[in-house]
């Protein structure tokens, strides 16, 4: 009888990515310069747009409320396609949109006017995945994590987050509804911000 592996290739890959991101964020936070010459131009009242650079097609708009707080509205819009078999053994392609959105907050440990600015991150989103010939799934997600924004140039930053994600899925097929909850660890996100 062969032993059962507790770790799949995707689990190991996720863990390696998350550890690498956490190490990079820690190094960035420890090496962050504190001189006035290294400060970013971000001040209360500044707006920014963000774009997810990892696997999630995420975009958002953010408002800098204070030197320590940035509030955002984030969302995803993803076109999905798959092949389905119809009567007669013929395969047809079907496509649909999967979308989600919700608020997010960054709280900067030493203010957000540093060249490298570490922060705590919290977000909550609701989303819908509704294939035309399958069950409809509504998802609610709560994220809690740590991250850092690095200002490459004064009007642009590159940021990363890592942390925990609590997901509650509600899937409805006809008259039957199934609800599942899961805790995802070692989540990773990368965003680019443009400030104006």
Q: What is the pLDDT of residue 23?
A: 57
Q: pLDDT tens, 14-26?
A: 555 555 555 555 5
Q: What is the pLDDT of residue 47?
A: 93
Cβ-count burial 90-118 (b if 16+ within 10 Å, e if not)? eeeeeebebbbebebbbebeeebbbbbbb
Containing 69, the helix (H) or strand (E) segment is: strand 69-86
Of 13, 117, 99, nearest to 56 (Cα)?
A: 99
**Residues of the chain falling short of pLDDT 70:** 1-41, 55-56, 133
Q: What is the pLDDT of residue 7?
A: 43
Q: How far is CA 162 from CA 49, 67, 85, 172, in A?
A: 20, 22, 39, 31
Q: What is the pLDDT of residue 27?
A: 56
Q: What is the pLDDT of residue 180?
A: 92
Which distant-in-sequence residues (6+ apart) come within 8 Å of 166 by Cβ?
141, 142, 143, 181, 182, 183, 184
């Amino acid at each position: 009888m062969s032993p059962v592996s507790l770790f799949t290739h995707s689990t190991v890959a996720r863990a390696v990515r998350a550890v690498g991101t956490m190490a990079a964020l820690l190094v960035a936070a420890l090496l962050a310069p504190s001189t006035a010459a290294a400060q970013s131009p971000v001040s209360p009242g500044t707006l920014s747009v963000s774009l997810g650079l990892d696997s999630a097609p995420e975009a958002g708009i953010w408002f800098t409320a204070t030197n320590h707080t940035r509030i955002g509205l984030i969302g995803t819009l993803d076109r999905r396609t798959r092949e389905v078999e119809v009567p007669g053994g013929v395969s047809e392609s079907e496509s649909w949109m999967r979308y989600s959105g919700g608020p997010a907050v960054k709280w900067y440990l030493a203010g957000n006017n540093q060249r490298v600015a570490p922060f705590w991150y919290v977000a909550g989103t609701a989303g819908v995945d509704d294939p035309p010939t399958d069950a409809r799934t509504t998802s609610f997600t709560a994220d809690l994590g740590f991250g850092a924004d690095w200002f490459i140039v004064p009007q642009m930053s590159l940021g990363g987050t890592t942390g925990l994600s609590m997901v509650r899925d509600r899937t409805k097929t006809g008259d039957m509804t199934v609800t599942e909850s899961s805790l995802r660890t070692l989540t990773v996100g990368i965003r680019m911000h443009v400030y104006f």
